[in-house]
Amino acid sequence: MIIATFLACLCAFIIMMNLISVAIMARKCRARPRNLAVPNDAPPVTIVRPLRGLEAFSEEILRASFELDYPQYELIFCVQSEDDPIIPLVNRMIAGHQDREARLLIGDDRISVNPKLNNCVKGWDAARYDYVILADSNALPPIDYIQTMLAAFQEDTALTVSMPIGSRPASFWALVECAILNTFQARWQYGAEAIGIGFAQGKNMMWRREVLDRAGGLAALGAEVAEDAAATKIVRARNMRVRLVDMPFEQPLGARTAQEVYTRHARWSRLRRATFPAYYAPEIMNGSFVAVLSGAIAAQGFGFDPLVAAAIIISLLHGSELVLAKICGFVLEWRTPFALAIRDLLLPVIFIDGLIFDNFSWHGEAMTVREPRDALKTS
């Protein structure tokens, strides 16, 4: 009976934390028209976009970057190789938007083991303005992109971020990735922010430039293999905050395979374990797997049907996520419940993977979560 009571309490705790995080995100991310007004004192902003190769939505994303509803911003596109196939498209976009400040910089400056940082550093150094956005190549900016990121700044804020929200899935596994990104990872990001431990996320980051420059500039983000982990630690070391935008930005996914989804999230899992081990341990409770298992065993111990208990738990957890997706305007279709179920079966496997393995491949480069500075010296 003691074991059953403990497991029942564990199950209740997991359900309660999930419902609280759903409520937090629903309050902050309720879908709204993308028409946030530009503030009267809007500062000029630099957007640095590292690019590598042509992707499924490259043209749409680049065009959107030029068409933001903001009075003064510059675009700096960074490419590592002169042979990159994205270059003609970037040049065509620049030529077609003569009214916009835009440049293409080519070159690879090896300041870290992180290829994205090595690509971005020239753009950071060339930036003219005091607020700088680092935006991944596959992040689609809405028309009120800049003012949405600015609106999250407070006096103690060094960095505002938007995690990616998966959209336009063209395969079932892309829908599984939406289930991971949208009502799961983003939800726990908002939960962490609500208790004062907000984490950076590298997809869209707007820096108060002076903060990072005082820490050593973009090269300081090379202290960790993951630049967002390094950013989080730099901000916390200065007793400042990372804050999240009120309505995160989409990342159109297109088609995804099971291997692509698993590989990507296993890589992030290994990075989280290496960079924030104390926060990684509770991730074993993520999703519905542990809640269902503990609740079913507890129900059997108290003389109830474990299958009925499992069904109730899944209905509470997944039902709340479906409501959240509706409130936030995220992808929601008849296959979504199945995608949530597959995701929750994957999460314990990904957690164990993150515990065991250190190495991974990113953009074709072999990398490890161990000692990024030493890896740079020996490369």
Output the pLDDT for position 365.
72
Can you say whether residue 319 is alpha, beta or left, with left for phi > 0 and alpha for psi between -120 and 50 degrees? alpha
Q: What's the angle, vertex CA 214, arms to CA 212 and CA 218, rounded to 5?
A: 40
Angle formed by the axes of helices 87-96 and 58-66, nearest 10°: 30
CB 165 within 8 A of CB 250: yes
177 vs 172: CA distance, rounded Å? 9
Residue 48 and residue 244: Cα distance in Å, rounded?
A: 19
Hey, which residues does 77 pair with through a beta bridge? 49, 104
Please report the pLDDT score of residue 113 as a whole number.
86
CA distance linking residue 300 with residue 107, whole number of Å: 63
CA distance 359 to 266: 10
Taking each helix axis as running N to C, give the angle between helix 306-328 and helix 336-356, from 0 to 180 degrees, rounded to the nearest 10.
100
Say what the pTM is. Answer: 0.93
278-324 residue pLDDT tens: 999 999 999 999 999 999 999 999 999 999 999 999 999 999 999 99
d(CA 103, CA 78): 9
CA 223: distance to chain centroid? 19
| CB-based contacts of 261, cutoff 8 Å, min separation 6 | 173, 174, 176, 177, 180
Residue 63, token pair as written in the block: 């065009």
Q: State how far the Cα of 210 lies from the Cα of 215, in Å rounded to an integer.
A: 9
DSSP letter string over 287-308? SSHHHHHHHHHHHHHTTS-HHH
Domains and CATH numbers, the chain: 2-25+275-378 (no CATH), 31-255 (3.90.550.10)
Mind giving me the DSSP string for 171-192? Answer: SHHHHHHHHHIIIIIHHHHHHH
Residue recorded with tokens 């161990």:
370
What local confidence, expressed as pLDDT, does residue 371 receive?
A: 60
Q: Closest Cα partner for 67 from 136, 162, 146, 165? A: 146
| Distance (Å, whole) CA 242 – CA 236 | 8
Q: Which residue, 339, 244, 320, 284, is CA-closest to 22?
A: 320
CA 369 to chain centre: 18
Query: In which residue ranges of the chain is pLDDT below 70?
Result: 363-364, 371-379
pLDDT at 370: 73
Q: In this predicted structure, what is the pLDDT of residue 62? A: 97
What single letter denotes the amino acid at residue 315? S
Enumerate helices (H) and strands (E) in the chain, giving the number of each.
Answer: 15, 11
Query: How much of the chain, in percent, has pLDDT values that exceed 70?
Result: 97
